[in-house]
Structures are given as structure tokens and as C-alpha cells.
Structure 1
Amino acid sequence: MASRNAGPGGHRGHTDAEHLLEERGEGHAKPHFRWPGQAGRIAVTGAEELSALIRPSGFYRQKSARLISFSKAVCSAGGLMALSGDEERAERVLSSISGGVGRETLTSIMLYALNFRRFVVDKYTLRVFSRLGLGDFSRNTRALEDMVLGGEREWTVDELKNYHACIVELAKEHCRKEPVCTGCPLSDACSYAMERMFP
């Protein structure tokens, strides 16, 4: 495996990712995204009924309206299978949904539901990459997507799903708001951990 201290040309983020996948095992973490049912059924479900079903998720009224809009858009486009064959069309359809679909939601759907090569940037991803010393991408998440997908490694869809799932698990177990660096598999390559250990 390449040095984990590689410079920008070697893209150290890739080697950190490889180490994380090795530590966790490629099938250890499960993706957090799950398609909640058939789009056709959601599209014809009343907003109040759907709100009651997803109430525990929080912001249930807003989410129910967007789920219905999303499901109607998917149905109008011919279903998920039809969208899964055309990446540009899929992104165009998802971006046009009433109420708006954020970048994180869009890339999650593109990766987990439609199986396109996308890298999901969420609060966990931003926190982990920032603490590793790979940069602050909070104002430009697309730059982080491009950095991961445009590097030397040719990621498969399954690898990208597992990579993101591992990041989420790492952020919940170690790289929390109040970090628990002890036992973290990336602590020896982490700028934040090094600063805490050697202030």
C-alpha cells in the first residue's frame, strides 16, 4: 500500500480510505440509505398519512411533501430502473423536484438507489476529512467529490458505498463532535489527533 503520508499527487485521502476499509472489513459497515418503498405507492399516498408514517424521523411534514414530489418525479420518468441507465437524465430529474433536493440527498440517491459512481459528502465526511488535514470543504462540497473521484484510484460503486458507510461509522464511534481518538484506526495519520497528542 502507498505511503499514508503521500502528498497531493499521491492523494493521501485514498490511502487513508484504504486503511479504513482494511480496518473495518469491506462488508462490515452497511450503507445508511434505504429506499423506503415503491415510488408509485408513495406518490399516491396522502401527505398526512405519509407524515404519520415518518414522524419519528423529524421534520416529517416537510419530508413527506418532498418524498411525494420525489416519487411522482421518479414515476413520471419511468421509474428507478429507467433513471439508472442515464446518469445525466437522473441528475436532471432529481434536481427539478419541487421543494428542492440538496446535494447530499442527490448524491445519496445517485449512489445508493441508482448505482452511479458518486461520493456522498455529509457532515461526517466533512468532519473526518477536515480533522485528517485534507482540507475544509464545507463551502465547496463538490471539490471534495471531485478530489475523491478524480484521483488515481478507480472506485467501484460498491467500494464508494462501503467507503461512505465506514466514514459514518468512524464519525459516530471516534470522530464525534467531541472526538474519541483512542483506538481510532486513522489516529496516526490524523492531524487533529497528532495536535492533541503533541500540542
Structure 2
Amino acid sequence: MLFLGLILSCTLKNIISKEKGRRKDISDAISKSGDAGVSVLKEVRQIDALKENDEGLLPVEEAIEIKNLEATKILIRLNYFEYSHRVYGKIVDTGDISMFNLIPKGGLDHRLLMKIKLNRDILLEQEFLNIVEATELERLILKGKFREVKSKGKRWIDQNYRYQKNLESGDDDRAITTSDIVCLYGEDLIGVIIEKLEGE
């Protein structure tokens, strides 16, 4: 029994050592520029892309921090649905539109829009609106043109109001509603919009 325990212990240490070595190879590939790093990253398994380094960073976060666009692109595609708001938030913090465009449409939710608003990043804000195909109502709200919104009729508001998030059919669907945008940018309009949608 003692012998079996020793064998298992040695085997486990070997596995852990190999895993740490593999993770270090990924970190090294991220820090390299050019084909050498890219070829290693293209061989990374999905499970390895979800392992943190000693600083608690996923490989994609390492790539984002050093602004390695090619490595970020490879790693984002590898785990399209697995990344959390934490990862997408780091992309927003870079302020880099090319990197921002790597976020799947389904990852562009109210939390990211709030982060963009807090960062006061007008370029990313406009890019966000373009990607989610914002309606005219949503664009007016973001620009603070509340008087213009108030002058519109029920039918126009109804046509420009997105009621639901469409996440059922995949990553290309919108993860934000008009209500989310109103709450972030135009709280003063909530009553007006409700009144218009219910009245007239």
C-alpha cells in the first residue's frame, strides 16, 4: 500500500511539473513577436488557454496586457464563449479598437458599455454602437439628445426600442437592450419612454 502511494505521488508531481512547463511555454510564446510565438499558440489546447499563470492571469490576459493583438486574437477564438467580463474589461481598458473588435457581439453587454462610459472612451462607445447595430433611439440617448427623443411619437419609439437580448441563437446576437442603454445614459427619459409606449 505504501509503495502504491509513492508511485501515485511521483506520478502526480510529474503531471503538475509538465502542466507548469506547458503553461510557461504559452507565456513565452505570447511574449514573442512574429511567427515563432504564433505557431506555438496555434497548438494551444482549449483547456490550457483557461489555466492561470503564477500571477493569476489567463494566457489571453497576458496577451492583452502586452498588447499582442495576434496572440489575443488566437486565444479569444480558442475559447469564444469561455471568457468572463474580466477579460473583456481588460480589452476595453486598452482603448484599442482593433483589440475591442475581437470581443464577440454576445459579449458586448451593459457592463462593458458602463466600463466604456466610465473610461470616457468616445471611440469605443461609437464602435460598440456600430457592432450592436444600435437603433436611432439608442444613439440619441447616448448623445444626450433627450429633447429630440421626447419629441418623437409612440410608433417611432416602438420601432427603435429593442426589448430583448437575443442570446439564444449564438454569439452574433445582441446582449444589450434599449432599457440597459436608457438606465446607463438617460435615466431622466425612463418615465417619458414608458409614457410614450403605453399612451398616445
Q: So what's the TM-score if we normalise by structure 1?
A: 0.26
TM-score, with normalisation over the residues of structure 2?
A: 0.25
Structure with the larger helix share: 2
Answer with 1 or 2: which has the greater Rg.
2
